[in-house]
Amino acid sequence: MKRLYCPAAAVLLVMLLMLPASPQADAQPRRGGVFRMAHIGEPPSLDLQATTAAITYHIMLHVAETLFAMDSKFETRPLLVDTWTMSRDRLTYTFNLRRGVRFHHGREMTSDDVVASLARWGRLGVRGRALFGLIESLTAPDPHTVVIKLREPYALLVLELAFYSQAAVIYPKDVLDEAGTGPLRRIVGTGPYRLAEHLPDRHIRMDRFEQYAARTDEPDGTAGRRTAYFDSIFVLPVPDPAVRLAGVKRGEFQFAESIPTDEYDRIRGDPDTTAYVAPLASFTAAIFNKRMGIMTNPKVRRAFLAALDMDSIMRATFGNPRLWRLDSSLVPKEHRLWSDAGKEFYNQKNPSLARQLLAEAGYRGEPVRWLTTMEYTSMGIPAQVAKPMLERAGFAVDLQMVDWATLLSRRARADLWDVFSSAFSFFPDPLLFLVLSPTYAGWYESRSMQAHLTLMRRHADPKVRADIWHRAQRLFWEEVPTVKFGDYFPMHVHRKELKGYTGIPTHSFWNVWLEGR
């Protein structure tokens, strides 16, 4: 079988050494019990194709599945696909589907479901829309075969179909037909858990799907065999991180998402809890509105960047220096595409230059409407620390603290904001970076950047791609569509009796169980 070059395969050995060991290797999995996870709030949608929000894929990847999955080394492996081939000219991909895979409403998955699902993802997804611009045809020649023909070679097609953020999950065609162009009326997937109940702002309950068709290959990351040990999974919205942490300590929850890093030492001293620190860096950022308002002026964006002291922002947000670092690269140091291109624009700490740029831009004190949230402290604290820095440089900052679901809703409307806070986990290739997409909120419509990304799509040679990306990253810092504050290593907390959790490449609670249940 021919396989695509996957840049994720080039993640360096140091990354592998950072991956969590498996202290539970000798523990025997136990079936049964109820798992309770405290998350940061209510997801904006349960439809994986309709949102880029991490909270949605943290939950719904247990329910809906993709054609391919990513292992712990960020390599792609078949999931709903059995075998696949690529033509010599790299334009035609033939996917042979696994047989006997059933949806939660009982029907077996066929190629018609896959074609309908991918077509919908191509309409809704930020990456899906870009990918479908390269697709000449998507067909189902028989009930168990799907064929994609491209207009030009694309090095990351299979990786796109495996990626978990706004994932290309497969839904039943009848469910999609029922929804038409509107939102899904039912969430029906093929995963090890089925959606059983959603009470907004109270809980989401997923129950084991007893007819789940598991793969037989060894589990690794989100790839391989998936076993639903829990009878049910409850995800509860708990916006206050202190309440999430206290709930884990009291045994009300077995897992809590996104705990402030200043709790690191206290958690390590607690015999009942474990601090999980992600081995790969995420980065926290401010995204500019480049469609409407004052941030459409590049000099205003450069002034914003020049005013910031990244050391102070990152230290105030994450505390312990083991849990954050300053780095201008958009890909982490552990990745082969790491680059220091544009580093001279990063962490300038230069309010005088910022004032000069604002004067040149004709800025007259218009309020900069900055949407942020404390449901993720990695977003809310940087905004609060940056605000006085910007004001000293001459900006008027209107900091709007909202819940995460409201932020996601408002950012879709260009007339409501100038800056919004976000954070981005490890992306196995820059072509997947949302902030570089003209269809992602912020709307980075740069012909020069798109020309660089088009070249990266066409080339599989790692040296060529590294050179292109080096130039693209410099352009990013020159045009400043987004400000990266710095890298951080997200921290979660779980009870000691929770076994099997790895967190690589993202949350997954299949193959996870409760000891002693």
314-356 pLDDT, tens digit per residue, is 999 999 898 999 999 999 888 889 999 999 999 999 999 999 9
135-152 pLDDT, tens digit per residue, is 999 999 999 999 999 999
131-135 own/partner pairs: CB under 8 Å, 24+ apart = 131/157, 131/160, 134/457
- Centroid of chain to Cα 389: 29
pLDDT value at position 426?
Answer: 81
Which class is domain 7-275+491-514? alpha beta
pLDDT value at position 14?
Answer: 39
Span 235-253, average pLDDT: 96
pLDDT value at position 504?
Answer: 87
Higher pLDDT, 428 or 122: 122
User: What are the residue boundaries of the structural domains of the chain, listed by start?
Assistant: 7-275+491-514, 282-488
Report the alpha-carbon distance of residue 300 to residue 307 in Å, rounded.
11
Question: Has residue 13 got a pLDDT over 60?
Answer: no
Span 501-512, average pLDDT: 93
Rounding to the nearest 10 degrees, give the CA dihedral for residues 311, 312, 318, 322.
40
Question: Has residue 17 got a pLDDT over 50?
Answer: no
Chain position carrying tokens 């690191």: 264
Averaged confidence pLDDT in the chain: 92
167-202 pLDDT, tens digit per residue, is 999 999 999 999 999 999 999 999 999 999 999 999
pTM of the model: 0.82
Question: Has residue 25 got a pLDDT over 50?
Answer: no
Question: Has residue 165 got a pLDDT over 50?
Answer: yes
Question: Has residue 403 got a pLDDT over 80?
Answer: yes
What number does CATH give the domain 282-488? 3.10.105.10
Residue 449 identity? M
CA 184-222-165 angle, 5° bins: 45
Bridge partners (DSSP) listed for residue 206: 195, 233
pLDDT value at position 7?
Answer: 42
Kindly list the distances between the CA atom of residue 213 and the CA atoms of 63, 86, 104, 209, 255, in Å, as whole numbers in the listed order. Answer: 13, 26, 11, 9, 27
Which of 410-419, 433-442, 456-465 has the highest average model confidence (pLDDT)?
410-419
pLDDT value at position 31?
Answer: 96
Question: Has residue 18 got a pLDDT over 80?
Answer: no
Element (H, E) at 368: strand 367-372
pLDDT value at position 517?
Answer: 53
Kindly list the distances between the CA atom of residue 271 and the CA atoms of 249, 250, 268, 494, 503, in Å, as whole numbers in the listed order. Answer: 10, 12, 8, 11, 21
Q: Are strands 76-78 and 81-86 parallel, antiparallel or unpaired?
A: unpaired
Q: What percent of the chain has pLDDT over 70?
A: 95
Report the alpha-carbon distance of residue 306 to residue 285 in Å, rounded.
15
254-296 pLDDT, tens digit per residue, is 999 999 888 988 998 899 999 999 888 999 999 999 999 999 9
Question: Has residue 10 got a pLDDT over 50?
Answer: no
Span 441-448, average pLDDT: 96
Q: What percent of the chain has pLDDT over 90?
A: 83
Span 380-391, average pLDDT: 98
pLDDT value at position 188?
Answer: 98
Rounding to the nearest 10 degrees, give the CA dihedral for residues 403, 331, 157, 443.
50
What the block records as the tokens of 441 is: 């909120």
What the block records as the tokens of 101 is: 């895979």
The confidence band for 9, taking pLDDT boundaries of 50, 70 and 90, is very low
> Can you tell me whether residue 16 is helix, strand or coil?
helix
